[in-house]
Structures are given as C-alpha cells and as structure tokens.
Amino acid sequence: MLLIPCPWCGPRDEIEFSYGGEAHIAYPAEPDELSDAQWADFLFMRHNPKGDFSERWYHSSGCRRWFNVIRSTVTHEIRAVYRVGEPPPEAGS
C-alpha cells in the first residue's frame, strides 16, 4: 500500500484515496472546433510511461480535495506532490 502525502492532510494510507488517472488534461478551449480525431485524443489517448507519471489523486476519505502526484510507475516512489493549478515541479521532469 502506498503512503501518499496529501498536500493538506499529510501522509495517509492509499486506501483513503481514489485514483484519477493522468494529470494536466485540460478541457478543450474551443470544443466546437475539434475534429473527431482531436476529440478521441482528448477523451481516450493517454500517456502510459514506464517511469515518472503525473497523475491525479482524490482524498476521498479525508479532505475530499484533488491534487497531483508525480510517481514512478516502476518503483512506485512518489517524487513530488503539488496542488491543482500548480505547474509540475522540476523534480518530476
């Protein structure tokens, strides 16, 4: 089980959280202008790296707030945690 450092509550067990998948996928600014291929990319295509991954977590049994994590998909090590709206820290790049 992961120990996830919630930016508001501190380190808590993984079972308190829900997973939100890849981070930084913004809703299209001009949705009416998108082609079917662009919609497919927005809705379905995802990065799936073997290595550091920017992902969203939701503290569903805690403060009920979303935040972002950079975590290795190989070692599961959490390299950085940052709030929604903040750019990814350099540590994860």
Partner 1 sequence: MRASGMSFDGSGFWRAAEPKPAYEVVVVGGGGHGLSTAYYLARNYGITDVAVLEKGWLGGGNMARNTTIIRSNYLWDESAAIYEHSLKLWEDLERELEFDIQFSQRGVLNLAHDLGDVRSSLRRVNANRLNAVDGEWLSPAEVANFCPIINISPDVRYPVLGATLQRRGGVARHDKVAWAYARAADRLGVDIVEHCEVRGFDVRQGHMTSVETSRGSIRATKVALAAAGHTSVLASMLGLRLPLQSHPLQALVSVLLEPVLNCVVMSNAVHVYVSQADKGELVMGAGIDAYNSYAQRGSFHVIEHQLAAAIQLFPIFRNAKLLRTWGGIVDVSPDASPILGTTPIDGLFLNCGWGTGGFKATPGSGHVYAETIANGKPGPLAQPFALERFETGALIDEHGAAAVAH
User: Where does this chain bind partner 1 (CB under 8 A)?
Assistant: 1-2, 14-15, 18-19, 21, 36-37, 39-41, 43-50, 53, 55, 71, 73-76
d(CA 56, CA 40): 21
Nearest distance, CB of residue 30 and partner 1, angstroms:
19
Distance (Å, whole) CA 16 – CA 23: 19
Q: Which two structure tokens, joined as six digits, stand for 71? A: 């975590």
Strands 52-58 and 18-22, sheet pairing:
antiparallel
In the complex, least distance from residue 18 CB atom to partner 1, rounded to whole angstroms: 7
Q: What is the nearest approach in angstroms of partner 1 to the Cβ of residue 37?
A: 5
Q: Which is nearer to partner 1, 77 or 86 (CB)?
A: 77
Q: Which two tokens stand for residue 79?
A: 């390299």
